[in-house]
Amino acid sequence: MKINGFRLLMSMFLLGNVCWGADDPDQSIKIFTWQGPGSGWSSDVNQSKLMTNGNDRSDVDWYPTYGSIDKMKNSDVVYVENHGGKVTTHAIPFLITVGYEYAITNLMFPKEEDKGPSLILNWGCQNGNDHYVKTNGTVVNLLEAYATGFGIDCNSKTKVYIAPKIDVGSYAETAFQSKFYEEFGKGHVTVEQAVKLGYEAWKKNFANPAIVDPLDKMIGICGNSQLTLNQLRANLAQRKVKPDQSIVVLIDGSGSMKGEKIAIFKKVAVHQIEALKENVEVALVLFNGCGSIHVLSDFLMMTPANKKTLQDKINGIEPNGDTNLAEATDFAWKYLDEHARSVNQGVIELTDGMETCNGDPVKAAGNINN
């Protein structure tokens, strides 16, 4: 298709809608509690407050083993009881050998947004400390390190990691947990709101409430603090629905696209995104300079909210730089191969077609068949 003398390369498939019911098994959650021997807390009872779907399932390991790590990896909501590493490290020889810090940061849970636990509460001394000073003087961001081990990026939109920043000792964590899970279990309450309410309950149970630090000194949150249980369930439902097609929208954001070209391309891209059905997943990639390629959005199923997310990113593009068309084309198809969940794949390429980085777009297109 030609628009005002430049080209628009695209492939589109419009597919059917997907809907889910309140007790639909696709929106059910798997809850796992890593309790540890002799801890004596009732964390599994508190987590049961999240079980508002008749298909939800819960499991607790009082004596964690290697198999417990696999259970944790394949659950949606996880509670880890760990006071100073003693409870869990005494249960698993591997953790005793290498130490709790090393073991957690090297768990290597899947980092993809559509895999691994969506919410982890890791209760133990300093597990959420973003400025932990080790005995040798080294400063470590345990909040980010532990979250990464559990497969949660602090910029995640669908996952969240929560942990105390302080030495919790025998403080009234049951009060925090009970209130946190009670509030989060309502469905519409965000993680941030539930943490605040849990903190208030926790504070009241100290012998001297005046010694309690402000919330931001007590609890660390890494990931989407605005996540609700309803959103978590919807995200999990999207994971279970395999897309009928995977599409990469590849946008030329180079300087040659300034003015009327980018305005038209934005309009076309926004329109095409709006036309897609919910069982299509789309990733958005921008190229705007030799060696400059940016994944503006990983694959998202085309729900109304996700469509708006992509459309806002498209409308925010400001052209600059050279046109690395060949490099970007190779990247788009490699990205599809590595990340797409459907075998039915395509690339929508929006460009004026003027390669300026010494690449060969024709050769890059030919590489697709290989």
| Cα atoms in the Cβ-side hemisphere of radius 13 Å centred on 227 | 24
2-18+242-369 and 25-237: identical CATH topology? yes
The answer regarding whether domain 25-237 maps to CATH 3.40.50.1460 reads yes
Is the entire prediction scored with pTM above 0.85? no
C-alpha span between 218 and 80 (Å, rounded)? 17
Mean pLDDT for the chain? Answer: 79
Q: 271-288 b/e with 16+ CB inside 10 Å = b?
A: ebbeebbbbbbbbbbbbb
pLDDT (0 to 100) of residue 25: 61
pLDDT (0 to 100) of residue 37: 53
Q: Is the dihedral of CA 199, 200, 203, 209 positive or negative?
A: positive
Highest mean pLDDT among 75-79, 91-95, 208-212 belongs to: 75-79
How is the chain split into domains, by residue range?
2-18+242-369, 25-237
| Cα atoms in the Cβ-side hemisphere of radius 13 Å centred on 275 | 10
* Short-list 362, 332, 360, 363, CA closest to 346: 332
C-alpha dihedral (315, 318, 323, 325), degrees to nearest 10? -20
Query: And the tokens for 41?
Result: 């807390």
pLDDT digits (tens, 9 = 90+) for 108-158: 788 888 889 999 998 877 888 888 777 778 888 889 988 988 999 999 989
When mean pLDDT is compared across 7-21, 89-103, 138-152, 194-208, the lowest value belongs to 7-21
Q: Is the dihedral of CA 107, 110, 112, 115 positive or negative?
A: negative
96 in Cβ contact with 90 (< 8 Å) = yes
C-alpha span between 224 and 162 (Å, rounded)? 10
* Residue 324 confidence (pLDDT) above 90: no
Token look-up 């978590």 returns: 232
Q: What is the DSSP string of 229-288?
A: HHHHHHHHHHHHS--SEEEEEEEE-SGGGTTHHHHHHHHHHHHHHHHS-TTEEEEEEEE-
pLDDT (0 to 100) of residue 339: 85
Angle between helical axes of 173-184 and 191-204 (0-180°, round to 10): 150
> Length of the chain in residues, anyone?
370
pLDDT (0 to 100) of residue 248: 94
Query: And the tokens for 185?
Result: 């279990």
Backbone angles phi, psi at 80, to 5 degrees: -115, 120
Helix ranges (H only) for the chain are 43-47, 66-73, 86-89, 93-98, 100-105, 142-149, 173-184, 191-204, 215-218, 229-240, 260-275, 304-315, 325-339, 361-366
C-alpha span between 77 and 248 (Å, rounded)? 30
Query: What 3-state DSSP class applies to 66?
Result: helix
Q: Which CATH architecture has domain 2-18+242-369?
A: 3-Layer(aba) Sandwich (3.40)
pLDDT (0 to 100) of residue 30: 92
Mean pLDDT to the nearest integer, 295-317: 89
pLDDT digits (tens, 9 = 90+) for 163-191: 988 776 555 567 888 899 999 999 999 99
